[in-house]
Structure 1
């Protein structure tokens, strides 16, 4: 399969260093991931192959240094460069890309909107080295609900079931989390979304507290077997009278963790769109190769007008989706130029709209590619079916379509619904 990228890129926003980073990421994906990706689904539980590949990305490529400030040895990547790397990873394997991305994403609340120098100094030396994995895990979904936690502007933490009680200079955490990426023994550190005042609708009670995975009272279950996303290891995590220092809260000022969570969701929405774009681009590459060689009715498949129309649809959806995604990434990095608050309700509505639109196009493209390739698209060796299985969860995570539409309606139409 030949690398193809004819779609518009925000080149004027990329430094030469950024372009080299993206190219290096692409080389790892094509050299290390493409040759083994048909074997990866069988590795969902043991993660023997996945662990080697995760080390290639996080350590050899240096991905675990990506979000950290340069003064601590990190890369401090801008959002556009980060997302272009995610595109490349998802061309290869979305589960692995998710594990690598979420391994960094969990630390975002200590970087923005208010940098926590205490925690940055505490964790940066562990992350900004390339000898040992240091992987984060955002523990968000509670046993009884997930979107209630992520519905920041609707419930304001009222229905969060995981609790944190301050006892002297320590937080005591109790709760049961489901589905966090990099659970099941992968993560070194959990970012636990919890409440300091159960049942109260108040941003001041919303808390994000960091818990090392080896802390007494942390217990993890076996990974779930899913339809796809085998590299994204998910399982139950229990926190039973877990004690961590008071300083491990992302933001000590009441209310700031809720703002950090909103910015966290904005970054997650943009990252999810970048992941979807990686899947879409690989579908484009696979279907282009197929239609360049397949002969039907004595003609190359792409020369049939009906086929050409479908191919045009695929290219159009990628082109438009990419343009909007990187505009949102640009806004994230340059909020003053666009007059937006990256942790605000307006930007949340707009990144929700972007993710919803792009993931919808992703689903359509996968189906169109499979239709064009027929049984070969449905077969393992065609690779489309892997994207078909892996992609659905990208649409579902962070509250899915329902919560996305609520956040969009709240901003654009002043709806009060939650």
Structure 2
């Protein structure tokens, strides 16, 4: 059992850390508050090749191992979690196309997705269906050589930039069980009837857009059916969400790391009663707890990522990592705010942004309560073990 990073992984992390400290940290607070889109940061990520993170080398990607994948989102979220969202949705969708797409679909999209010339996301959630994806109402009826899509998707990251946008639909609404009638269609951005109707206002997770998408009789060729076979859509989506949960766990570690960094610096610099507040036991206990929980979340996330690199099924492991790391992010942000006192509530300090970003981690890629239920079912069925 080896808990150390390889030389290549350490060098990769150092490169990322330098990029984040140089180009993201100095502007994140001001750009987030103003609602400015981080165009320059996206361009820098393109130059670094980060949009090819989950794409095979034969298509121009870097085919990163899953631990390096986690390191990427940890470091970027440490700077600004919203930026990690731009790259995260793209990477999960690109992985899905690489894993499940036909040779023609891979050839058509992956080379440009790898360079960031194209970007993508994934459209699963609907106004009336979130965690229960089998409850979606978006349909795609066959009409000759085309599919005609009707429905509405919501909370779609990268919606204004995705081309194509994979959309989960029901190609057979009468199928029982429902997942046997579900498919994914790759919808071009210029498809007639495809509209990004609005940006959704959010407490945090700013920098990237989260949108409602309307598909009004959108016609796409049958060649846009992911994998070329109907009825595989839910399995395709859920398999990609395993990487998505590593993504969320790693982002959570990044938030917790930044909360720790800010709390430690403040405890050293802030004085009260003529001494640094870090000399007070109450602050020391809270700071120590942040450090303990942060390191535990990091190790659990790397463990789940390494399991995926070993080629084993790891939906339980990724779910465990996501649950623990996301709860840790929220607790660390809260404790760091308490160490800051009144200044932690000020928009002039980083802590209030971390405090607003952290709650999403317990919701995205499956709510923690639903994931806990799934973990328990796996344990009871003997599909997963602890120890």
Q: TM-score, normalised by structure 2?
A: 0.92
Aligned partner (choices 81, 86, 91) of residue 104 of structure 1:
91
Residue 280 of structure 1 pairs with residue 271 of structure 2: no
Aligned partner (choices 175, 190, 215) of residue 165 of structure 2:
190
Secondary structure of the corresponding residue to residue 147 of structure 1: coil
In 2: Cα distance, 1:389 partner to 1:217 partner = 35
Secondary structure of the corresponding residue to residue 142 of structure 2: strand
Bigger Cα displacement from structure 2, 164-173 vs 283-292: 164-173
In 2: Cα distance, 1:317 partner to 1:199 partner = 47
Secondary structure of the corresponding residue to residue 136 of structure 1: coil
Secondary structure of the corresponding residue to residue 30 of structure 1: helix
CA deviation string 1:21-46 (max 9, x = no partner): 322222221111111112122443x6
Name the CA shift for 1:396/1:72 in 2 (closer, same or farther; >3 Å): same
Instruction: Give the CA deviation at 1:219.
Output: 0.7
Secondary structure of the corresponding residue to residue 213 of structure 1: coil
Residue 290 of structure 1 pairs with residue 276 of structure 2: no
Aligned residues: 380
Contact 1:104 1:135 in 2 (8 A): no
Partner residue in 1 for 2:20? 29
In 2: Cα distance, 1:28 partner to 1:214 partner = 33
Contact 1:110 1:119 in 2 (8 A): yes
Residue correspondence of structure 1 range 308-323 to structure 2 within 5 A: 308-323=284-299
Partner residue in 2 for 1:69? 56
Residue 364 of structure 1 pairs with residue 331 of structure 2: yes
In 2: Cα distance, 1:274 partner to 1:354 partner = 9
Residue 405 of structure 1 pairs with residue 381 of structure 2: no
Unaligned runs of 5+ residues in structure 2 are: 383-387
Residue 144 of structure 1 pairs with residue 131 of structure 2: no
Residue 60 of structure 1 pairs with residue 47 of structure 2: yes
Secondary structure of the corresponding residue to residue 185 of structure 2: strand
Name the CA shift for 1:231/1:199 in 2 (closer, same or farther; >3 Å): farther
Secondary structure of the corresponding residue to residue 146 of structure 1: coil
Partner residue in 1 for 2:152? 176
In 1: Cα distance, 2:211 partner to 2:121 partner = 11
Name the CA shift for 1:305/1:42 in 2 (closer, same or farther; >3 Å): closer
CA deviation string 1:75-131 (max 9, x = no partner): 11111111101111111111111112112212222223x46322111102322336x
In 1: Cα distance, 2:155 partner to 2:61 partner = 28
In 2: Cα distance, 1:24 partner to 1:167 partner = 50
Secondary structure of the corresponding residue to residue 157 of structure 2: coil
CA deviation string 1:194-213 (max 9, x = no partner): 11111532433121211111
Secondary structure of the corresponding residue to residue 222 of structure 1: strand
Partner residue in 2 for 1:396? 363
Q: TM-score, normalised by structure 1?
A: 0.86
Instruction: Give the CA deviation at 1:401.
Output: 2.5
Bigger Cα displacement from structure 2, 267-276 vs 99-108: 99-108
Aligned partner (choices 226, 240, 262) of residue 264 of structure 1:
240
Instruction: Give the CA deviation at 1:10.
Output: 4.2
Name the CA shift for 1:212/1:247 in 2 (closer, same or farther; >3 Å): same
Contact 1:191 1:209 in 2 (8 A): yes
Name the CA shift for 1:388/1:121 in 2 (closer, same or farther; >3 Å): same
Bigger Cα displacement from structure 2, 185-194 vs 385-394: 185-194
